[in-house]
């Protein structure tokens, strides 16, 4: 940076000096494109989001879940995971068309956004399945949140010809951080299927 400043008679700044060093001196980067920081942030945001709902995608969800578990190990406190999907969604798609199904998925995402806290992580896990990471929330709090969300989703579509309901499963990691990310997902999914078997439109725990 100092050498470039002396040669050019002006300070080029750290980003330009770093770019020059990595590209021309260390030869560690090729075909580099310089873009504005705000645009980079925007592109990064788009790359981590589900295109239809605007919620985080599955890959980002799994990454964030691991991050939250690491934070839990450092600072303690409970952490809960809610996995849920929409009941009879295939029938809705077959009866009313995929465009209407997409509208329902977007509407459900809007309801989720209205219910979560700033520190919660909401994602579209795939198809009609969703996931919400609830940091610092114990089992009782997770059940309260999940049932409030379930009721909000049901009410959001009350005026439609069809019914939209959700079945979900919850798993909580205690302060000991006893479960890995994959284990949390697996147990919460078991709760989801338990809810399906128990009649749907409900929240269950697998253990």
Burial of 96 per CB tally in 10 Å (0-12, 13-18, 19+)? middle
Six-digit token string for 115: 């219910």
φ/ψ of 134, rounded to 5, equals -120, 85
Residue listed under structure tokens 């021309």: 24
Strand, helix or coil for residue 171: strand
Tokens at 116, concatenated? 């979560």
Q: Let me know if 161 is a catalytic residue.
A: no
**Catalytic position from the list 36, 37, 68, 128:** 128
Structure tokens at 81: 């995971």
C-alpha–C-alpha distance, residues 44 and 78, integer Å: 29
Active site residues: 128
């Amino acid at each position: 940076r100092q050498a470039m400043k002396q040669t050019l008679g002006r300070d080029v700044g750290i980003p330009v000096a770093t770019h020059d060093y990595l590209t021309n001196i260390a030869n560690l980067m090729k075909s580099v494109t310089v873009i504005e920081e705000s645009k980079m942030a925007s592109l990064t945001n788009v790359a981590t989001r589900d295109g239809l709902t605007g919620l985080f995608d599955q890959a980002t969800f799994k990454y964030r879940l691991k991050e939250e578990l690491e934070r839990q190990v450092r600072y303690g406190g409970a952490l809960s995971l809610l996995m849920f999907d929409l009941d009879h969604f295939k029938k809705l798609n077959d009866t009313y068309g995929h465009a209407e199904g997409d509208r329902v998925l977007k509407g459900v995402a809007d309801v989720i956004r209205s219910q979560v806290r700033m520190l919660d992580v909401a994602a579209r896990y795939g198809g009609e399945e969703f996931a919400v990471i609830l940091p610092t929330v114990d089992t009782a709090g997770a059940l309260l949140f999940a049932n409030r969300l379930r009721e909000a989703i049901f009410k959001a579509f009350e005026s439609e010809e069809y019914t939209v309901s959700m079945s979900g499963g919850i798993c909580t990691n205690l302060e000991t951080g006893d479960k890995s990310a994959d284990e949390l997902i697996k147990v919460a999914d078991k709760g989801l299927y338990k809810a399906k078997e128990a009649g749907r439109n409900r929240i269950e725990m697998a253990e």
